[in-house]
Structure 1
């Protein structure tokens, strides 16, 4: 059985903090690829300000707002666990999970300190351990060992598995309801912590670091772009479909499996990556940074490949488990487009910006 890589995200994400991002920088005036882009009129401060004020902080704000709506819908369902309330809850859950995808690439700084990704989206959830926690009525959601027992994957399992409604009216109903409420509370707390830090001192720290050396925002962002693409190629799309396992599929290991929203989540994740890469179109972003580095063609190629990959994913219908049987051609096509985009970012963009990809991927490519 494949162990989905999100169970190892705690180690991968921690590595992103402590490992060194090496910036290859030529001192020769003849190498325009590695000259400071500010010499060509590029304003790094403006780019980072755009990221902080127009993308990152608003995305976390939207996630916090949506998490509050999720808590309300969850409590309504727990009070009256019926089909109508579950349907309403599923819509709110999907919207909240989609808003999480908008911040998935922002797992550095406050998010890394809070281990937001680890505790919010390590999938698949360990249903056996979760059921044991509920039966005992004792558990801890703060230890690293609990990352696959909470967050969106745990809520996906608890609230939308085939027997969920009956579970909340059965012998473990009291403990089960408390567990769900604790998971939601922990999710909200971590999101609030990250947003508060961005609104506090970290914004100035982020904007003020215009270097391209170890631990800089540029190095973090490019590594995170590549990491998220690896996750799309692997745990989100490829591995459940049988890549790296000789064609043996593991549909239960997908993100958002029980709610049947795996493809929607993957598509939003990729769309959010594109928005971040081009600075939301109206502001400067990494695409503009490449142009300043005399890499206009690469910038154009990356943006075009984002569109190809997104459009290809949109041809795959949810639920993913059904598409694995009925839409194999579309999945294969989407997988190929994702691979191409991954290579462009992980190899070409990293090389053009002088950033070394330092995290360990999970399939050796």
Structure 2
């Protein structure tokens, strides 16, 4: 179905380019192109972004329910019952990581939900003393969210800790993490509903701060994070080949590979617009069919490379280094396509500071 739609977009593009560009700073090409971009942004808002926030909210509630059962009776059985809802919620989060702008950015959602590696010593100190403030921006990012829950639930002696001397403080800490996550997620959803959705779908430019500009920038940022903190850094790319497996995402639950695949799969869905118009269709409209084909092919190569890594990825950094290296290289190629070629084709300026200078 999408191939037929792409053919129609390409045909429409031939007509549109005959009209010449207008004077908009974002490089808009006449009213018909504006209609396309408006429909594309409506698709992003209504069929991808807002449903993804709702899915995360639902999965977080299910995780909280399983957590309450675990906290009421900490055991290997209730801990095991936590694993699937934890994975489902964390994977759902990967579905909104790529839209970290607007309300999500103002609420510091990504930083709060997924700053890893988590600061184990600071968490334990906060639990022991009861002296912590999860609302402190930046200072408290590394002691909360999914990485902190990953440690608290699934570290080697987690069950014993929840039955030990600090059990009450530890349980309160977990509940405070959930309260913070739910508050920020609700605030984000409310801001989208209170007007940001209309602002998002109405901004048809591609300049800094525009909706399309924000999408492409975040696509590139997510690829940088996949290449860097998710794979490259724990794999030793910034430490002269010394592996720091415990620094990867989802280390304690051993969901590192699942989360990386979920992140890249979500990014591909956002790039394509799912079943509606996306950046891929916009590239076709701009006459960049080959670039779009190259990007889609590279998405598949990167996903296949990630899937080829055996679980747990933290062990594969050492035991299957060649497979990890392949995934790293394929990810790097995709990053270059998005950050350089897609950004250039869509007249988007990449404004964030990357993780490691590529």
Q: TM-score normalized by structure 2? A: 0.91
Matches within 5 A, 1:188-203: 188-203=182-197
* Shift in CA distance, 304/40, structure 1 to aligned 2, threshold 3 Å: farther
Q: Secondary structure at the match of 2:85?
A: helix
Matches within 5 A, 1:121-270: 121-144=114-137, 145-270=139-264
Q: Secondary structure at the match of 1:240?
A: helix
RMSD: 1.6
- Describe the superposition over 1:18-46 as per-residue Cα deviations: whole angstroms up to 9, x where unpaired: xxxxxxxxxx9599xx8524566561110
Is the Cα–Cα contact under 8 Å of residues 82 and 165 in structure 1 kept in the other structure?
A: yes
Matches within 5 A, 1:1-365: 29=20, 36-38=28-30, 41=33, 43-144=36-137, 145-280=139-274, 282-365=275-358
Aligned-pair distance for 1:156?
0.5
Q: TM-score normalized by structure 1? A: 0.89
Partner of 1:8: none
Aligned-pair distance for 1:214?
2.6
Task: Give unpaired runs (5+ residues) of structure 2.
Answer: 1-18
Which piece of structure 1 moves more, 228-237 or 309-318? 309-318
Alpha-carbon distance in structure 1 between the residues aligned to 2:98 and 2:208: 18
> For this pair of structures, how many residues does the alignment match?
335
Task: Give unpaired runs (5+ residues) of structure 1.
Answer: 1-27
Alpha-carbon distance in structure 2 between the residues aligned to 1:213 and 1:326: 45
Is the Cα–Cα contact under 8 Å of residues 57 and 199 in structure 1 kept in the other structure?
A: no
Alpha-carbon distance in structure 2 between the residues aligned to 1:284 and 1:313: 27
Aligned-pair distance for 1:326?
2.3
Alpha-carbon distance in structure 1 between the residues aligned to 2:87 and 2:27: 44
Aligned-pair distance for 1:84?
1.1
Higher relative contact order (CA 8 A, sep 6+): 1
Structure 1 runs of 4+ with >3 Å offset: 28-31, 37-42
Alpha-carbon distance in structure 1 between the residues aligned to 2:30 and 2:163: 63
